Amino acid sequence: MTNPFILALLFWIAAWALNEWLVRLSPRPAAMRRLIDVLVPLVFGIAVLAMWEGVVRGFAIPSVLLPPPSMIWARIVNSVPILWADFRQTFLKAVLIGYVLGCGAGFLVAILIDRSPFLQRGLLPLGNFVSALPIIGIAPIMVMWFGFDWPSKAAVVIIMTFFPMLVNTVQGLAASSAIDRDLMRTYAAGYWQTLFKLRLPAAAPFIFNALKINSTLALIGAIVAEFFGTPIVGMGFRISTEVGRMNVDMVWAEIAVAALAGSVFYGVVALAERAVTFWHPSVRGG
Amino acid sequence: MLSRLAAGNTLPIVIVVAAIVVAWYGFAVYLNMPWQLGVYERSGTTWTFADLVRDTLAQERPVLPSPHQVFAEMWRTTVEVAPTSRRSLLYHAWVTLSSTLLGFALGTLLGILLAVFIVHNRAMDKSVMPWVVASQTIPILAIAPMIIVVLNAVGLTGLLPKALISTYLSFFPVVVGMVKGLRSPEPIQLDLMRTYSASAAQTFWKLRWPSAMPYLFTSLKVAVAISLVGAIVGELPTGAVAGLGARLLAGSYYGQTVQIWSALFMAAALAAILVAVIGAGHRMVLKRMGMAQ
């Protein structure tokens, strides 16, 4: 009987060798090259999972500490309804609503203070300062104000996403070059025409940067806010109660769902960015 | 004089902050009013607006405490109590700060090591970099309680489990910044090193490492702020023993809003100090290297 750990180690070495070989290939067709770019991280990810499985089985680590991926997968398949209910409570209600409201408010305030350099100089350093603060700490206060259900979590998400959006949008609106703005003036374009046709498109990379940062922040905010009190559904609630009951595989299943939701959310924003800012060098250069 | 002030950032910031404080007092009166009106009605006292303002700003458990209440509480728990006492806010801030710093140091070290490997090995670059990015789309703070409980079960208690969460959060900005920084030397400079027949190690220490410094410090500022968040969240599941996170949790259990706000202000002060220290280090190093603007 071979030790699973040895098998996993062999698999790891083989996968690494495969990757070393793959990155040294430089095939002509662009499609092949893109395939390799996807394949290499994929092989690495599978190798990590195999290593995890092998270590847990090989050293007989109790599943209370670290369940093997196969056990987590079995738990995910078995408890789809619970996971879906938690996902709906946390992600579809708290995260999405808070994200839209927070980013929208940050964007609108940025447009409003755009005409006042005085307010900009006052608000920008403050916004930068607030971005460095542990805003997550307001979660217990929001739970006190707005109750246990999702509105309190959405409120945390709104506040967490507001400042990155504000700061980035203000910076983005200043990004169009003076020569472009002069051109708009020679066309006799008004403030709003200049805003919509020149400055907002020029600000798009900055705005999407904020949207991407916020997609991660929003999920963190909603889940952590649930640690401070929730109805009996939600991803943060499930994680904290199942940890208490030592159902570690359920916790990991919930984490897997959160990871997947976070990655898909980020991916959707990144795709939208590619579609909207197709003219930007970082997208065009591919 | 006045026009000089208005041209700089100081005056606008002071005015915006003053506006926020005024708005805060307004909200404090408004939000604490319903409870206070209930008190007046039960005791049957006649009240004027001045009474209302005075009483709403001095409640024991207000919905929104007024700024001076928060500062009074901070004064009471920092200056009037010995820093070693468990009732001192400084004691809790120190607990949080120590795990923040340990996590930050470990995260920086890990980040720099990963960046060095990524820059020197193509397979590493292609296979690890996408996962480093993906690892941050995971709401890692959600795993915080998990990690703490698991590590406690293994026998690791105290500082390290909390610090590991800060490590996980802070390694990312360092990796991204350092990979960019270590790649920032121009091809012409790398070529020059080759004409000197410099070894890989020499190129690294004499060219890549110095030119990565500005990038390193910029990422360190982000990393230290996020380490603090990690340490605070890491304190939540440990049963509210010690630290600013524990103060937040205890405050929310017992409805002590003034305590929550003073812990929040303390956390904000810590974040500001940490970022300022890194900023000072940034300026000092760049000046020594002759790169200051």
- Every domain of chain B and the residues it spans: 2-63, 89-288
Interface of B with A in 10-29 (CB under 8 A): 12-13, 15-17
Structure tokens at B220: 């360190």
* Tally of domains within chain A: 2
Q: What count of residues does chain B have? A: 293
Distances (CA, A) of A233 to A151, A247, B30, B248: 14, 16, 33, 23
CA A15 to each of CA A10, A22, B192: distance values in angstroms, whole numbers, following the listed order: 9, 10, 36
Same domain, residue pair A55 and A151 = no
Q: Which of A122, A140, A255 sits opposite B142 (nearest CB)?
A: A255
Q: Measure Cα distances from A72 to A49, A68, A69, A157, A257 in Å.
A: 12, 7, 5, 29, 11
In a shared domain, residues A103 and A175:
yes
Under 8 Å CB pairs connecting chains A and B tally to 159
Q: What mean pLDDT is reported for chain A?
A: 83
- Residue A145 counted as domain residue: yes
In a domain, A147, yes or no: yes
Mean of pLDDT values over A256-282: 83
Tell me the pLDDT tens digit for each residue of A8-41. Answer: 888 888 888 887 787 777 777 777 777 877 788 8
Q: What is the mean pLDDT of residues A110-136?
A: 80
**CA–CA separation, A196 vs A111, rounded Å?**
11
Q: Is the dihedral of CA A176, A182, A187, A188 positive or negative?
A: positive
Q: What is the ipTM of this complex?
A: 0.71
User: Which stretches does DSSP call E strand in A29-183?
Assistant: none
Quick one: A266 and A148 in the same domain?
Answer: yes
Q: pLDDT for B159-215, tens place per residue?
A: 788 888 888 888 888 888 888 888 888 888 889 999 999 998 899 998 888 888 888
Q: How far apart are CA A195 and CA A169, in angstroms?
A: 12
Asked if residue A232 and residue A99 are part of one domain, the reply reads yes
State the pLDDT at residue A220: 81
Phi first, then psi, for residue B155 (nearest 5°) are: 110, 0
Same domain, A195 and A263: yes
Residue A69 resides in a domain: no
Signed CA dihedral, B209, B211, B213, B219: sign only: negative
Interface contact flag, B139 A220, Cβ < 8 Å? yes
DSSP B141: G
Which range marks the domain in which residue A180 is found?
A: 75-284
Q: With an 8 Å Cβ cutoff, are A227 and B251 in contact?
A: no
User: Confidence band (pLDDT; 50, 70, 90) for B7?
Assistant: low
Distance from CA of B243 to the nearest CA of A (A): 13
In a domain, A67, yes or no: no
Q: Is the sign of the CA dihedral B64, B65, B66, B67 positive or negative?
A: negative
Query: Is pLDDT of A1 > 50?
Result: no
Mean pLDDT score, B8-17: 80
**Residue A194: how many CA atoms within 13 Å on its side-chain side?**
21
Which string of DSSP letters, residue by residue, matches A79-117? THHHHHHHHIIIIIIIIHHHHHHHHHHHHHHHHHGGG-H
pLDDT of residue A282: 66
Q: What is the mean pLDDT of residues A101-108?
A: 93
Give the distance, in angstroms, between the CA of residue A30 and the centroid of all CA atoms in the same chain. 29
A132·B221 Cβ contact <8 A: yes
- A177 and A54 belong to one structural domain: no
Confidence of residue B101 (pLDDT cuts 50, 70, 90): very high
Q: Which of B9, B12, B275 sits opposite A132 (nearest CB)?
A: B275
In this structure, the answer to whether residues A18 and A110 fall within a common structural domain is: no
Last residue of a domain, one of A32, A61, A90: A61
Task: Check whether A154 has a pLDDT greater than 80.
Answer: yes
pLDDT of A251: 82
pLDDT in tens, A45-98: 888 888 888 888 877 777 777 788 888 888 888 888 888 888 888 888 888 999
Is the Cβ pair A243, B236 closer than 8 Å? no
- Least confident among A168-177, A200-209, A228-237, B80-89: B80-89
Of B130, B150, B229, the CB nearest to A134: B229
Answer whether residue A286 shows pLDDT above 50: no
A263 contacts in chain B (CB < 8 Å) = 134, 137-138
Longest Cα separation, chain A: 82
The residue count of chain A comes to 286
Chain B CB contacts of A248 below 8 Å: 146, 150
- Chain A, nearest residue to B259 by Cα: A141
pLDDT at B4: 60
Q: Which of residues 165-224 of A touch B (CB under 8 A)?
A: 215-216, 219-220, 223-224
Asked if residue A33 belongs to a domain, the reply is: yes
Mean pLDDT (whole number) for B257-280: 86
CATH architecture of B89-288: Orthogonal Bundle (1.10)
Nearest CA in chain A to B145: A240
User: Which candidate, B136, B143, B137, B147, places its Cα nearest to that of B169?
Assistant: B136
Q: What is the mean pLDDT of residues A210-235?
A: 82
Task: For residue B164, give the amino acid letter.
Answer: L
Ranking A110-114, A193-197, B41-45 by mean pLDDT, the lowest is B41-45
B139-172: per-residue pLDDT in tens? Answer: 666 667 667 777 777 776 677 888 888 888 888 8
* Whether residue A81 sits in one domain with residue A21: no
* A141 and A165 fall within a common domain: yes
B127/A contact by beta carbon, under 8 A: yes
pLDDT value of residue B94 = 87
Q: Contacts of residue A240 in chain B, CB cutoff 8 Å?
A: 145, 237
CA–CA distance, B111 with B109 (Å, rounded to integer): 5
* pLDDT cut 90: percent of chain A above it: 7
What's the Cα-to-Cα distance from A134 to each of A140, A160, B225, B277, rounded to whole Å? 13, 9, 8, 17
Same domain, A128 and A22: no
Does residue A249 sit in the same domain as residue A110?
Answer: yes
Q: Is A135 a domain residue?
A: yes
Q: Which residue of B lies nearest to A215 if distances are taken between CA atoms?
A: B137
- Which of A135, A220, A254 is best to mutate for the B interface (most B CBs within 10 A)? A220
pTM attached to this predicted model: 0.78
CA–CA separation, A69 and B40 (whole Å): 61
Residues of B in contact with A16 (CB under 8 A): 123
> Which residues in chain B are contacts of A258 at CB distance < 8 A?
138-139, 142
Is there a single domain that holds both residue A171 and residue A252?
yes
Angle at B62 between CA B56 and CA B66, to 5 degrees: 65
Q: Is A193 a domain residue?
A: yes
**B residues 60-89 near A, CB within 8 Å?**
63
Q: Which residues of A touch B127 (CB under 8 A)?
A: 19, 40-41, 43-44
The average pLDDT across A178-192 equals 90
How close does chain A come to B161, measured CA to CA in Å?
14
Give the whole-angstrom CA distance, residue A77 versus residue A80: 6
